[in-house]
Amino acid sequence: MPQFEQPLAGGVESVSQGGVVAAGLVQAAFLLVGALGMVRFRDFFMRLHAPTKASTLGLGGVLLASLLIQALRGQWSIHEILITFFIFLTAPVSANLMAKAALHLRVESKAGHQPVDEADAATPRQG
């Protein structure tokens, strides 16, 4: 087992570890809700929403909890910060690109929305 340089005081250590555990449970709940959304939602566009939010909130929160526990141990690392930054940056961008590709391929939505042609959208409506 690794030895830590400066152990925290007994009360502070248990409270801080309890906070990290609580944060981890909240983030695990986000990940669970995202997984359930993948199973329960009916079409591609609805299913795209669930994992995007789960990865952004859930995985980002788990990494922030990891950063907190490392900081409490006195072992600062930039790895968790960089991973969190790239998750927050890439998850919404990749979801946007997948949604645009699905619109381009005219994937049907069970929500009742019809794809809009760019030529139709460019012409002004009269009325």
The domain containing residue 21 runs over which residues?
12-111
**In-domain check, residue 84:** yes
Residue-wise pLDDT tens digits, 29-46: 888 888 888 888 888 888
Q: Is residue 29 part of a domain?
A: yes
The total domain count for the chain is 1
Residue 120 lies in a domain: no
Could you report the per-residue pLDDT of 36-88, keeping only the tens digit for each? 888 888 888 888 888 788 877 887 777 878 887 888 788 877 888 888 888 88
Handedness of CA 22, 24, 30, 32 (dihedral sign): negative
Q: 23 and 57 in contact (C-beta within 8 Å)?
A: no
Cβ neighbours, 10 Å, residue 56: 20
